[in-house]
Structure 1
């Protein structure tokens, strides 16, 4: 079981888009799917895939509010806590602005 948890964790962090999502959520706290899609300018199916990988690795938590799903980091994940400072130090370009109609 622990080996599978570790495998999912490192698979989730093996993609630059997912690393950027982690960095962005670390910086912003919580974002809806609409905001994430606006930040990254990728298709909804592509974004959904990346978010699903992060969720299956227990790196993010979700909360549905009406028709929107909000994502935030799972601060209870010890592997994420141990690696977050390093992830944020990578200097990944994370967009500052969003064009989401919610903001």
Structure 2
């Protein structure tokens, strides 16, 4: 379960439409992004999407995209993994489920 302070950080991360859009796109990466050639089952990061693919899909600069992903990462809404020279991001489903529980119980 998340606490009140964590919930506030999550709500701050969700206060930007583009960050919400990124989370929505990461919900179904196979429909929203190109095939991620470097993410294979053996690397245990299925559903991960490369920063450059996220950047090109949302249409922002590399620095803004990285900043938005950093905010989502710090809030716990996404997780990342470096594979070779690329960094991949995917939704953190556990945090999202815990947020649902928090809202149901506290709000």
Q: Structure 1 length normalisation: TM-score?
A: 0.73
Distance 2:57 2:10 in 1: 23
Aligned to 1:47: 65
Aligned to 1:10: 11
Aligned to 2:21: 20
Q: Structure 2 length normalisation: TM-score?
A: 0.71
**Number of residues of Structure 1 aligned to a counterpart in Structure 2:** 81
Q: Larger relative CO (CA 8 A, sep 6+): 1 or 2?
A: 1
> Which has more radius of gyration?
2
Aligned to 1:88: none
Runs of at least 4 residues off by over 3 Å: none
* Matched position secondary structure for 2:81: strand
- Is residue 60 of structure 1 aligned with residue 85 of structure 2? no
Task: List gaps (5 residues or longer) in structure 1.
Answer: 84-103
Which among 34, 46, 52 is matched to residue 34 of structure 1? 52
Task: List gaps (5 residues or longer) in structure 2.
Answer: 30-46, 102-107
Aligned-residue offset at 1:3: 2.1
Distance 1:16 1:31 in 2: 19
* Matched position secondary structure for 1:76: helix
Flag the structure with higher helix content.
2
- Is residue 72 of structure 1 aligned with residue 93 of structure 2? no
